[in-house]
Amino acid sequence: MSVGKPLAHDSGPLHVTGAARYVDDIPVPAGTLHVAFGLSHEARGTIAAMDLSEVRSTPGVVAVLTANDLDRPVDVSPSAHDEPLLSTGEVHYHGQPIFLVIATSHRIARAAARRARVEITPRPAVLTIDDALEAGTYFEGGPVVWTRGDIKSALEAAPRIVEGQIEIGGQEHFYLEGQVALALPQDDGGMAIAASTQHPTEIQHKVADALGLPMSAVRVETRRMGGGFGGKESQGNALAVAAAIAAARTGRPCKMRYDRDDDMVITGKRHDFRIRYRAGVDEDGKLIGVEFEQFVRAGWSLDLTPPVADRAMLHADNAYFIPNMRIVSLRLRTNTASATAFRGFGGPQGVLGIERVMDHIAHELGMDPLKLRLANLYAKSGKDETHYGQPVKGFELADIIGSLAESSDYHKRRAAVAAFNAENDVLKKGIALTPVKFGISFTLTHLNQAGALVHVYQDGSIHLNHGGTEMGQGLNQKVAQVAAEGFGVGLGRVRITATDTGKVPNTSATAASSGSDLNGMAVKAACDEIRGRMVRFLAETHGLKPKSILFKDGKVHLGNQRLRFVEAVQECYMGRVSLSATGFYKTPEITWDRVAGKGHPFYYFANGAAVTEVVIDRLTGEYRILRADILHDVGTSLNPAIDIGQIEGGYVQGAGWLTTEELVWDDKGRLRTHAPSTYKIPACSDRPAQFHVALWGRKNHVPTIYRSKAVGEPPLMLGISAFLALSDAVAACGEVYPALDAPATPERVMMAAKRVAG
Amino acid sequence: MYAFEFERPRTLDEAVAALADDDAQALAGGQTLIPTLRQRLAMPGKLVSLTAIDALRGLSASGGVLTIGAATTHAEVAQQTDYPALAKLAGGIGDPHVRNRGTIGGSIANNDPSACYPAGVLGSGATVVTNRREIAADDYFTGLFETALDEGEIITAVNFPIPDKAAYAKFDQPASRFALVGVFVSKGKDGVRVAVTGASEGGVFRWAEAEAALASDFSAGALEGLSVDPEGMIGDIHGGPDYRAHLIGVMTRRAVAAAG
C-alpha cells in the first residue's frame, strides 16, 4: 500500500540541498533578455506626459513598450477583462505597471525603468472602505444580499441583542519564491512558457490572447513553485504575458521576475474586511438570528473578488445553525492593488465574523464560549441545513470538539488560566477553542474537473502527469501514491513530471483545496483504464477470469502464477496493448445559483478544531502563543506526514494573519510595508512552544479519492483560536468586551487592555 | 549602488588622509550605509573602511571605565563581562549577522533614532573619543541622524564609566528588531541617567523627570504617576505617539526593576 503512508515530500531532499529547480534556476539560452515594469507613482490619475528617452538610451536596453506600442489590447485579468497589462492612460493604483523595459539583464531593466519621467495628473484616490462607501464605488452594481427566514421578526423577538463590528486586515502571501516567468519563442511562431503559477491553463489562455495565437500554439510548464497560497492564481498573468510579448517582439527568450518590494507593491493580497454584526440570542445562548454586513475592500479591478466575497458569505455560519440570517456583502472598488485569492478565499473572513459573534455573545451572557458554541452547532433533526440550503452531512464537529477538549485538557486549563489571571496583574493568559467547517469545491461549478495522463513504459516505469501544480503542499507525492497504488507497485516506479498544458489541457487552478481530490481521482481513472486493458489481455492470454488477476506488492497475480510487474507490462506490450491513458474526473452532486445564494455548492465539508493558549503583557501588548492543540479532519489521510505539515503551516499562517502581519498604506495609497523589515510574518520561533496536531481519522462520507479530505485551506482558520485567545486574555483585564480588531498587533492589544480596564 | 573607490587604511592617519576628499565617506560595519548605497540614497565617491585599523579595535577596562574601540563589533561587546547591562544591549541588536558586522562607532556616528547604542552611551554618561577631542554624550547626540562630529572627524573609542546599577529594556519592532522604544537606566557616582531611544522625533533623549524621581529613590515605584507627553513622539507604521509615550513609562520601570 502506498496510499496512507506518511512519506516525505518527493522533493524534500532537493528543497533542503538547494537542488530543487525553480523557474529562475532554469538555465536559460544565450541571449535571453529580461523584462521589468515601470510603475505608477500615484494611486489615481491620468498620465499627462511620459518621457522614456532616458530609459531607452540606457546601455543594455533593447526595447521599451507602452500600451500604445502593443499590437492589440492586452488584458491580464482572470475573467473580467478590466486589467490592461500596461496603463492605457488612467492610473488606478500606486504600483500599477505603466510601461515595460526589455534589457540584457534583470538589473539593467529595473534600473532603466526608474529613469522614466512620467507625469500623472492626480485625482482624489479612493483608498479605504470608508472612502469607497462615501464615493459609492461598488463592484457588481451594489450590495449582494442573501437571506434566510425572517431576520427582522427574529431580531425583534430576540431576548438579547449583541452587536458590534470588527476590522480584519489583509495579508501578503509572502511566497518564498517570488513571481517569475520565462518565455521561449518557438520556430513555428508558438510560445513556450515556464511559469511559477497555480494556473498554467490561464497563463496559456492569456498569453495566447495577448499574442493573437490559438491556445494550441502556447505551451505552459510548471514544475514547482516556492509557495503560492493563492497569490499565484491570477497574479502571475502579467509577468508571463509581458515576457511572452517581449519574446515575440525580439525573437529571443525573455524572463521576468519581480524583486520582493515590487512583488509586494504590484500584486494583490488577501481582501481586508469590515464585518458589522447584529445577533439575536435567547438567554441560553441559542442563536435566533444574525445579520451581517461584510464590507470587502477589493482594490482597483474585479480579479477574483466575486467568488472570494461569495465564499465569505457562504462561511458566515461556520459551524453553527442560524435559523434566520441576512448577509449583505459590499464589494468596494478602491485605488489599491487588486485583492486576490489567498488560502481560504474569503472563507476565513466569513468564519472570523461568526466566531467573533460567538465570542461576543459568550462575554455578554457570561457563558463559557465553548458551551455556547456546542449549543449552536449544526445537528440532526432540522438543524442540519445551511443558510444557502445545503444539508450538512457527515458533520462530526461535536465529536471532534469533545475529543479535543478532552485531549487538550481544555476545562482544567481554562480554570488554571483564570487562577493565573487572578494572581497576576501584568501578565494575563487567555484560552480559546474554535472550530472550522469549510466547504470543499470551487463555487464556480465548471471548475470542478481535472485531467491526468499516465504512461506505462515497456520497462515497467510509470510516467505521471496531471493538471494540478506543486507549490510545496505535497500534491505530487499524494498523487504519485495514488498511481503506485493503482498498479500495486512501489513509488520508485512512478515518475512525477512537471505540469504541462501540452499533456493535460483545460485545467483548473490548483486552488480551493481541491488539488488532491480532483487530480487524484483523474490519475486513478487513468491508472484504472490502463490496468483494465492489461487485465483483459492477461485474462485472455492466460485463460483466467479478469477478477482473479491482482496487482499487488510489485507483482501481477495470475491465479497461481506471479509475474513481476515489468514482465506483465512486457507481455502487454508484445501483445500490442496501449499502455497510455488519460483520466478525467468531475465532482458529482454540486449545483449553485450564486445570484440567489442557494444550492449545493460543496461536495462535502472539511472540519477541525483548535485550542490555543496565549499570554499577554497588558502594559506593552506583547504576547506569546504558549500552546496549540489541533484535531483536524482529513478523512482517511492519503499521507499523514504531508497532511500534518499542511495543518501546522495553515495554523501558523492563520495566526500570523490575525496577529503580526499588518499591511499599512499611507494617505497617498502607497504600501508602506513592502519588505520583511516592515511586514512581520511568523518565523519558526513564533510557532507555539507546545504544538500538538492530531488527525481525526474517520473516512469521508462521500467517495473522494480513497475517502480522504482536502487539507490545503481549512487549517488556516484554526489560527482564529489564537486571535480569540488574545481577546480572552484582554478580557481578563476588566469588564468590558475587548472588541479586538485584526491583526491584533501589540499596540492594539495594549490599547484594548487599557480600554477594557477602563 | 553607484560606483565608488574603496580604501582600507591600516592606521588612523592614513584614514584621516583618505577621508580628506570631499566626497569620501567612512565605512564601519556597513549595516546602515551599505543598504543606503544599494538603494542609491547616497553617492560617495570613495568609501574608507575603518575596520583594518588596530587602534580602533578592542575593549579594555581600568579604573572603573570600560573603553571600547570604535570598530568593535556588537558581538564583541556582547561578550565582555565588565559592563553586563551594555553587553545585554549589544547582544540584543538586530540579528547575528548585524552583530557580527556592525560596530559601536558606526552606530553612534549614524545616530539612527531607533538604534540601541545611543541609549547606552547617553544613559551611561559615556564619552565619545575622536581623533581630535573628547565629547561628552550629552553634547554628542544633536538630533535625528545628527551628531557633534565635524567633517572628517573619526570616532576612535567610547569610554563608559561603569555604573553601580544599570539595565536596558527594549521593545522590539518585531520585523526589524529595531527599538520601537528602548530605555537605558544607570545609577553611578554622578547620579541617575535615563536615556530613551526609538521614541522621539528628536532622536535619543534623557527623561529628566524620571531621573529626578529616581535620584532619591531608585525603584520602579518612584516612577508611579510619571508619564511622557506624546507630543514630539514618533508616529509611524509601527506604532503611534501615544503608544510610544506609554511604552517609555513601562520600559523605564522595567529597566529600573531589572537594574535592581
Q: Cell 452547532 identifies what position?
A: A377
- Reading the block at residue A547, the C-alpha cell is 477478477
Tell me the average pLDDT across A2-28: 96
Q: Model ipTM?
A: 0.88
What mean pLDDT is reported for chain A? 97
CA angle A397, A399, A401 (to 5 degrees): 65
Tell me the nearest-neighbour CA distance from B235 into chain A, angstroms. 12
The rounded distance, in Å, linking the Cα atoms of A530 and A573 is 12
**Is residue A4 one of the residues assigned to a domain?**
no
Q: What is the per-residue pLDDT across A525-543, written as a single tens digit (0 to 9) for each? A: 999 999 999 999 999 999 9
Nearest alpha carbon to residue A350 among A519, A597, A540, A551? A597
The 3-state secondary structure of B49-86, one letter per residue: ECCCCHHHCCEEEECCEEEEECCCEHHHHHHCCCCHHH
Reported confidence tier of residue A392, pLDDT bands at 50, 70, 90: very high
CB A586: neighbour CB atoms within 10 A?
13
Q: Cell 516556492 identifies what position?
A: A226
Q: Which residues face B134 on adjacent strands?
A: B129
Q: Which residue of A has its CA nearest to B177?
A: A677
Residues of B in contact with A427 (CB under 8 A): none
Q: What is the per-residue pLDDT across A265-324, written as a single tens digit (0 to 9) for each? A: 999 999 999 999 999 999 999 999 999 999 999 999 999 999 999 999 999 999 999 999
**Is residue A108 one of the residues assigned to a domain?**
yes
Please name the residues in contact with A150: beta carbons below 8 A apart, sequence gap of 6 or more.
A324
Tell me the nearest-neighbour CA distance from B156 into chain A, angstroms. 31
- Reading the block at residue B18, the C-alpha cell is 583618505
- Reading the block at residue A311, the C-alpha cell is 465564499
Contact, A303 vs A289, CB < 8 A? no
Q: Cell 519558526 identifies what position?
A: A684
Please name the residues in contact with B58: beta carbons below 8 A apart, sequence gap of 6 or more.
B69, B72
Q: Which residue of B has its CA nearest to A661?
A: B175
CB contact under 8 A, A679 and B175: yes
Using the Cβ of B176 and the Cβ atoms of chain A, whether some distance falls under 8 Å is answered with: yes
The rounded distance, in Å, linking the Cα atoms of B128 and B121 is 8
Contact, A739 vs A731, CB < 8 A? no
- The beta-carbon neighbor of A678 closest among B237, B247, B250 is B237
CB contact under 8 A, B239 and A660: no
- The beta-carbon neighbor of B237 closest among A620, A672, A676 is A672
Parent domain of A307: 273-443+593-757
- Reading the block at residue A363, the C-alpha cell is 462575554
CB contact under 8 A, B237 and A620: no
Using the Cβ of B52 and the Cβ atoms of chain A, whether some distance falls under 8 Å is answered with: no
CB contact under 8 A, A750 and B246: yes
Nearest alpha carbon to residue B105 among B179, B198, B233, B12? B12
Helix, strand, coil % over all residues of chain B, rounded to 5: 35, 30, 40
CATH 3.40.50.10490 assigned to domain B5-49? The reply is no
Same domain for A113 and A209? yes
Contact, A196 vs A222, CB < 8 A? yes
Residue ending a domain, choose from A217, A247, A266: A266
Q: What is the per-residue pLDDT across A653-674, written as a single tens digit (0 to 9) for each? A: 999 999 999 999 999 999 999 9
Same domain for A576 and A625? no
Helix, strand, coil % over all residues of chain A, rounded to 5: 35, 25, 40
* Residue A5 pLDDT: 95
Tell me the average pLDDT across A232-247: 98
CB contact under 8 A, B250 and A619: yes
pLDDT over threshold 90, residue B66:
yes
Q: Rounded to two decimals, what is the model's pTM?
A: 0.95
Q: What is the per-residue pLDDT across B88-108, written as a single tens digit (0 to 9) for each? A: 999 999 999 999 999 999 999
Give the type of residue at A168: I
Please name the residues in contact with A123: beta carbons below 8 A apart, sequence gap of 6 or more.
A44, A45, A46
Q: What is the CA radius of gyration of chain B?
A: 18
CATH 3.20.20.150 assigned to domain B165-259? The reply is no
Q: Give the phi and the psi of residue B45 in degrees, each rounded to 5.
A: -80, -25
Strand intervals (E) in A21-139: 33-39, 45-51, 61-66, 90-91, 97-103, 117-122
What b/e sequence results for A657-672 when a residue is b if at least 16 CB atoms lie within 10 Å of its CB, and e otherwise? Answer: bbbbbbbebeeebbbe
Same domain for A290 and A426? yes
Tell me the nearest-neighbour CA distance from A683 into chain B, angstroms. 10
Residues of B in contact with A747 (CB under 8 A): 239-240, 243
For A240, B50, B98, B141, B192, the CA distances from B90, given in Å and listed in that order, are 47, 20, 10, 19, 21
Domain range annotation of chain B? 5-49, 54-161, 165-259
Tell me the nearest-neighbour CA distance from B237 into chain A, angstroms. 6
Active site residue A177: no
Sign of the dihedral defined by the CA atoms of residues A132, A134, A136, A142, in that order: positive
Please name the residues in contact with A314: beta carbons below 8 A apart, sequence gap of 6 or more.
A347, A350, A386, A388, A439, A443, A601
Tell me the average pLDDT across A723-752: 97
Residues of B in contact with A679 (CB under 8 A): 175
- Reading the block at residue B49, the C-alpha cell is 573602511
Residues of B in contact with A264 (CB under 8 A): none
Reported confidence tier of residue A380, pLDDT bands at 50, 70, 90: confident
Q: Give the phi and the psi of residue A27 in degrees, each rounded to 5.
A: -60, 130
For A82, A285, A530, A701, the CA distances from A443, given in Å and listed in that order, are 22, 32, 32, 20
Q: Which residue of A has its CA nearest to B40?
A: A111
CB A505: neighbour CB atoms within 10 A?
15
Using the Cβ of B169 and the Cβ atoms of chain A, whether some distance falls under 8 Å is answered with: no
Nearest alpha carbon to residue A224 among A164, A175, A183? A175
Same domain for A255 and A311? no
pLDDT over threshold 90, residue B84:
yes
Same domain for A607 and A574? no
Q: Cell 477541525 identifies what position?
A: A608
Residues of A in contact with B174 (CB under 8 A): 660, 680, 746
pLDDT over threshold 90, residue B22:
no
- Reading the block at residue A126, the C-alpha cell is 479612493
* Residue B1 pLDDT: 84
Same domain for A497 and A624? no
CB contact under 8 A, A672 and B239: no
pLDDT over threshold 80, residue A1:
no
Task: Specify the DSSP class assigned to residue A696.
Answer: -
Q: Which residue of A has its CA nearest to B237?
A: A664
Same domain for A240 and A183? yes
Q: Cell 452532486 identifies what position?
A: A589
Residue ending a domain, choose from A535, A569, A586: A586
Tell me the nearest-neighbour CA distance from A451 into chain B, angstroms. 43
Q: What is the per-residue pLDDT across B122-144, written as a single tens digit (0 to 9) for each? A: 999 999 999 999 999 999 999 99
Strands A287-299 and A272-281: antiparallel
Q: What is the CA radius of gyration of chain A?
A: 27
CB contact under 8 A, B240 and A672: no
**Total domains present in chain A:** 3
- For residue A548, the SS3 value is helix
Give the type of residue at A690: Q
CB contact under 8 A, A678 and B176: yes
CB contact under 8 A, B243 and A747: yes
pLDDT over threshold 80, residue A495:
yes
- Reading the block at residue A472, the C-alpha cell is 510545496
Residues of A in contact with B176 (CB under 8 A): 677-678
**Is residue A517 one of the residues assigned to a domain?**
yes
Q: Give the phi and the psi of residue B100 in degrees, each rounded to 5.
A: -85, -15
Cβ contacts below 8 Å, chain A against chain B, sum to 30
- The beta-carbon neighbor of A750 closest among B174, B175, B243 is B243
Same domain for A240 and A378? no
Reported confidence tier of residue B162, pLDDT bands at 50, 70, 90: very high
The rounded distance, in Å, linking the Cα atoms of A600 and A602 is 6
Give the whole-number percent of chain A exceeding pLDDT 70.
Answer: 100
Residues of A in contact with B239 (CB under 8 A): 747
Same domain for A116 and A262? yes
- The beta-carbon neighbor of A677 closest among B171, B175, B243 is B175
Same domain for A574 and A640? no
Sign of the dihedral defined by the CA atoms of residues A728, A734, A738, A743, in that order: negative
Please name the residues in contact with B98: beta carbons below 8 A apart, sequence gap of 6 or more.
B29, B31, B74
For A53, A140, A276, A354, A369, the CA distances from A350, given in Å and listed in that order, are 49, 19, 11, 7, 19
For A156, A531, A552, the CA distances from A487, given in Å and listed in that order, are 63, 7, 7
The A-side interface with B (CB below 8 A) comprises: 619-620, 622, 660, 662, 664, 672-673, 676-680, 746-747, 750-751
CB contact under 8 A, B176 and A619: no
CATH number at residue A453: 3.30.365.10
Contact, B29 vs B73, CB < 8 A? yes
- The beta-carbon neighbor of B175 closest among A676, A747, A751 is A676
The rounded distance, in Å, linking the Cα atoms of A142 and A396 is 37
Same domain for A197 and A249? yes
Task: Specify the DSSP class assigned to residue A353.
Answer: H
CA angle A276, A279, A281 (to 5 degrees): 165
* Residue B72 pLDDT: 97
Tell me the nearest-neighbour CA distance from B253 into chain A, angstroms. 11
CB contact under 8 A, A622 and B239: no
Catalytic entry in A83, A172, A485, A713? A713
* Residue A415 pLDDT: 98
Residues of B in contact with A676 (CB under 8 A): 175
Reported confidence tier of residue B52, pLDDT bands at 50, 70, 90: very high
Could you tell me the fold of the domain covering B54-161?
A: 3.30.465
Q: Give the phi and the psi of residue A697 in degrees, each rounded to 5.
A: 90, -5
The rounded distance, in Å, linking the Cα atoms of B260 and A436 is 48
Tell me the nearest-neighbour CA distance from B248 into chain A, angstroms. 10
Residues of A in contact with B175 (CB under 8 A): 660, 676-680
Using the Cβ of B243 and the Cβ atoms of chain A, whether some distance falls under 8 Å is answered with: yes
Residues of A in contact with B250 (CB under 8 A): 619-620
Give the type of residue at A132: A
Residues of A in contact with B237 (CB under 8 A): 662, 664, 672-673, 678
**Is residue A568 one of the residues assigned to a domain?**
yes
* Residue A381 pLDDT: 80
Using the Cβ of B239 and the Cβ atoms of chain A, whether some distance falls under 8 Å is answered with: yes
- For residue A133, the SS3 value is helix
CATH number at residue A200: 3.90.1170.50
Using the Cβ of B238 and the Cβ atoms of chain A, whether some distance falls under 8 Å is answered with: yes
Same domain for A392 and A289? yes
Residue ending a domain, choose from A569, A586, A603: A586
Q: Give the phi and the psi of residue A692 in degrees, each rounded to 5.
A: -115, 115
- The beta-carbon neighbor of B250 closest among A620, A672, A747 is A620
CB contact under 8 A, B174 and A678: no
